Chain A
C-alpha cells in the first residue's frame, strides 16, 4: 500500500511550486494559475487524510474548496479583463500607481 506520507510529500512539493509561481512570474494569469495549483495541493492533502482516517469529511471540504476556486476564478478573471482594458497591461510589475 501507499504510505500517507507520500501523498503529503507530493502535496507539499506541488504547493511549493505554486508559491514560486506566485512570487516570481510577471503575468497575472500565471499567478492565478499558480494559486489554483496551491488549492489543488490542499485538495490532495484533504482527500488523503480523509482516506486514511476512514471518514468522508475531507471529501466534503474538497467540494467547498472547488466551489471557492470557481467563484474566485470568475471574479479574478473579470478583474483581469478590467485591468487590461483600463491600463493595457497584464504584467503585475507595471501596476505601480500606488508606488508600493
Chain B
C-alpha cells in the first residue's frame, strides 16, 4: 500500500516534468525539468530493487549527460527563443497522434494479462546485487560490454572530429 502511494507520486512527477520538458520555451528550463525527471526515474528504479542502476542513473544521466546538454545550451545564444514559435505548424496533429498512440497502448496493456503475482517476492540477492550484476556483465555479457566500450570510443572520436576546426580554413 505504501509502495503504491510512492509509485503514484513518482509516476505523477515523471509525467508532469516530461510534459513540462517538451513545452518549455527556454531550453535551460527544459534541462532543469529533465533533471527532476531523472531523479524520479531513479526513485522508480529503487522501487524495483535496482539500487545500483538508480545510482548509475543519477551519476551518468543527471551528472554527465545532462550537464553536457546544459553546457551546449549555454554556449549557443537563446535570444531568439523568447520570440520564435516553439512548435512547428503540425503540432496539433502530432499531439492528437500521441494521444491516440498512448490510448491504444494503454488499452492493450489493460486488456492483456501480466504475471503480477510474480512480483510478490523481491529478487533474492545477498546485499545490493552489485556483485551479481558485475559477474553477469564480465562473464556472460563480456562481448557486448567490449562493444559498448568501442561505441564510447567512436562517440569520443566523432565528437572531437566534428567540433574541431578544419585545418584548411
Interface residues of A (CB under 8 A from B): 1-10, 12-14, 16-21, 23-27, 29-30, 32-34, 36-37, 40, 43-44, 47-48, 50-54, 56-57, 59-60, 62-64, 66-75, 77-82, 84, 90-93
Contact = CB atoms under 8 A, between A and B. Distances in A.
B123 A51 contact: yes
Chain B contact residues: helix, strand, loop or mixed: helix
B76 A84 contact: yes
B14 A14 contact: yes
Given A71-B154, A81-B163, 13 more contacts: A1-B3, A2-B3, A7-B44, A16-B98, A18-B18, A25-B86, A40-B37, A52-B116, A52-B119, A59-B52, A59-B53, A59-B133, A75-B159
Contacts of B159: 74-75, 77-78
A13 B85 CA distance: 25
Contacts of A92: 88
Interface residues on B, range: 35 or more
Given A2-B7, A23-B94, A82-B162, A60 B133 contact: yes
A20 B49 CA distance: 31
A37 B18 contact: yes
A70 B61 CA distance: 8
A79 to B, nearest CB: 6
Contacts of A77: 68-69, 72, 159
Nearest to B148: A67
Chain A contact residues: helix, strand, loop or mixed: helix
A36 B34 contact: yes
30 contacts: A2-B7, A5-B116, A6-B7, A9-B109, A12-B105, A16-B98, A16-B102, A17-B22, A20-B22, A20-B98, A23-B94, A23-B97, A23-B98, A24-B22, A25-B86, A26-B86, A30-B22, A34-B21, A36-B65, A40-B41, A43-B41, A47-B45, A52-B118, A56-B136, A63-B56, A67-B152, A68-B151, A70-B65, A71-B155, A84-B76
Nearest to B123: A54
Contact of B118 (A5, A47, A54, A66): A54
